[in-house]
Structures are given as structure tokens and as C-alpha cells.
A and B are shown apart, each in its own frame.
Chain A
């Protein structure tokens, strides 16, 4: 299913999230079960199915990584369930270093300084990668799509790091 079509928004990475939210509410209202109380069994079931599709679509479209994955899947590049290992050594070295920095936080005499440092690095890299992702997807060319897929993989590592950092912050507060 093409979520962009369902929401009648352009099939591109850069989306107006306010417009998306408005469209979501409209669609939800249109397919609300109350509207189908007097409808046939078949139409009622279709409405329920459509309401579920709308929720799935909104969930995917509002998050940058899921939106990018959906856009790539529509262009024939499917990466959502891949099990292939990522082998970009220099990128992974950097990830290892950031993981080590995170591991040091809890034993540090000044944990909040390390948290700031990690946070800054993660945000900076994420911002840069998201910018690269937007321009790769905008090109809408097979080679650029493969590049975009690689950028998504890298971003997943950074989203994971961010999550780990949040867990550490919680641990510190407890």
C-alpha cells in the first residue's frame, strides 16, 4: 500500500507534518465506525480495515526513518526486515568509540559532562545524516536510493545510541 497516496500527500521525504496531522484526523473521521453503523457487514469490515491502514500509515509517515524506508520500498528497495550485517569499518569504529564513551558515564566523576559530550556528538551526526538522506531521496535515482538505504542503516545505529543514552540518564537519576 502506498501511504503517501492514502494521505494524498506528495511521495517525498520532506513532508509538512502539520498537514499530515490534519489529513490524519480527516481520514480518521471519514472511516470512523459510527459512520458505518447502518452500512452492510461488508462495508463495515472494509471501514475497519481502512481505519487500521490509516493508523499504520500515519505511524510510518510521521517518523523520518520509517517514512524514508516506506519511500524506498515503493521504489523497490526493501530494507525493513534485512538480516545482512553492516560492514562499514570506519563507521563501526566510531560507533564503538561512542559506545565506550557511554559505558564510561556511570563510572565518571562528572557524568553530566560526558552525557553532554555524547549528546552533542549524536545530535550532530544525526543532523548531518538526515540532511544527506533528504538529498539522496530527493534525487530519486537508483544509485542514490541505495545510498539512502545505507544512510538509514547508519541512522538506526544513532537512534539506538540515543536510546542507550536515555537509559543511562535514567539510571543516574535513580
Chain B
């Protein structure tokens, strides 16, 4: 199956790969997986006092589309408030990367990862 140029770009030059220090209180983590293909995705956000996402990092074990979806989301969430970031839809990711129907679940995974990270932040900060 042919990948779109944007998927290849993110796959070959993934943005924001890595991890933040686990004990940093401004960091929250979202972990999600897709049993059908065994993909595992970790997405971390660093949130400032104003509730704005200052930085984001990811680590994904999966196919090119899963890596590209998480890489794109880390770019998109930077500078957004938690509520704005929660509005990101998998359809936007799929459209931006021109994902074929069989790879839509990769964009769902990325949407669920950012939602999980936001939920983790809210649990830690009791809001």
C-alpha cells in the first residue's frame, strides 16, 4: 500500500519523539494501544500554569501511519489549551495525512492518546 507524502515525511522525520521526566508535575501521559495490530502509543504533554500545552512528545511502536498520526498530533497540540486540544478529531488527522480507510484506526489511536493525556492531567490536578 502506498503511503501519502505527508505520512512518509512524518515517518522519516518524526517530530517530538521522546519522553519527559516522569516525575515532572507539569507532565501528563496518555497510553493507548490497538489490539488488532499490536500498536502501542505513548503521548506526553507539558502544561504551563495558564493551562496551555507548551510541549509534547511521543513514542509509538506501530506502522508508518500510526507514527505519522502521533507525530502530527504532537505538532498540533502545542500552544493549545487543554480544551482546544481535546477538540482534535481523528477525521482531521486522517484527512491531513490522507490515510486510506484501512489506516483510519491509526488516527483514532492518536485522538484517543491525546484525550488520555488530557484526562491524566486533569486527574493529577484534580479538575
List the interface of chain A (C-beta within 8 A of B). Answer: 82-83, 85-87, 89, 91-93, 95-96, 99, 152-154, 156-157, 159-161, 163-164
Contact = CB atoms under 8 A, between A and B. Distances in A.
30 contacts: A82-B36, A83-B34, A83-B36, A83-B104, A85-B33, A85-B34, A85-B108, A85-B109, A85-B112, A85-B113, A86-B32, A86-B33, A86-B35, A87-B32, A87-B112, A87-B116, A91-B33, A92-B31, A92-B32, A92-B33, A92-B40, A92-B42, A93-B31, A95-B40, A96-B40, A99-B61, A156-B35, A156-B38, A157-B33, A163-B38
Contacts, number: 57
Contact of B38 (A82, A89, A93, A157): A157
Contacts of B116: 87
Contacts of B113: 85
Nearest to B37: A160
B31 A157 contact: no
A156 B36 contact: yes
Nearest to B31: A92
B60 to A, nearest CB: 10
Interface in B16-58: 31-38, 40, 42
A contact patch SS: helix
Contacts of B105: 83
Of A85, A86, A95, A161, chain B has the most CB atoms within 10 Å of the CB of: A85
Contacts of A87: 31-33, 112, 116
B59 interface: yes
A128 B61 CA distance: 24
Contacts of B104: 83
A89 B113 CA distance: 11
A87 B113 CA distance: 9
A96 B59 contact: yes
Contacts of A93: 31
Contacts of B61: 95-96, 99
Given A96-B59, A96-B61, A85 B38 contact: no
